[in-house]
Amino acid sequence: MDSIEKPGVKVVYLCRNPFDTFISSWHYINNIKSESVSPVLLDEAFDLYCRGVIGFGPFWEHMLGYWRESLKRPEKVLFLKYEDLKEDIETNLKKLSSFLGLPFTEEEERKGVVKAIADLCSFENLKKLEVNKSNKSIKNFENRFLFRKGEVSDWVNYLSPSQVERLSALVDDKLGGSGLTFSLS
């Protein structure tokens, strides 16, 4: 977060519901592993996720840090949720463009520029790009592994009631009182 202190620097922070983050990470890990390695079972991965043994660092603290900075300095940090983008991309594009000091003009909005950008940047469109279907950027890693479903609340198809209860308690413990919340629907 040191970069926020520099003049002219703005940060756009995008997070995702921790439930969907887990499911997405679990699929990703199983996609990028070597073929000689057995798949990571959901229950095993879930336990590791809840204990904080994940490959991407202490994300709770990271997410909460940027959340707090966005409240303290909204001119420096724009905090967005993936779920909000999926629900209303055009409103969030307007919010982003204003944050960056490049708001859409009335004429651009009237001509459908916001919708055109939303369509170009949609999960479905990005997933279809040839570069994201076949290119490999590093060994055993194909760009297509970055795109699965892009759906909100897909976790309901995977997690048991006891897992939902455990992760809900963890979310409450880590984020409780911060004002940062995620919907379970």
Question: pLDDT digits over 80-120, tens only?
Answer: 999 999 999 999 999 999 999 999 999 999 999 999 999 98
What is this structure's pTM? 0.83
Q: Residue 138: what pLDDT?
A: 58
Q: How far apart are CA 25 and CA 50, in angstroms?
A: 13
Q: Which domains does the chain have, with CATH numbers?
A: 2-100+152-175 (3.40.50.300)
Q: How far apart are CA 185 and CA 153, in angstroms?
A: 7
Q: Is 124 exposed, middle or buried (0-12, 13-18, 19+ CB in 10 A)?
A: exposed
Per-residue pLDDT for 140 more than 60?
Answer: no
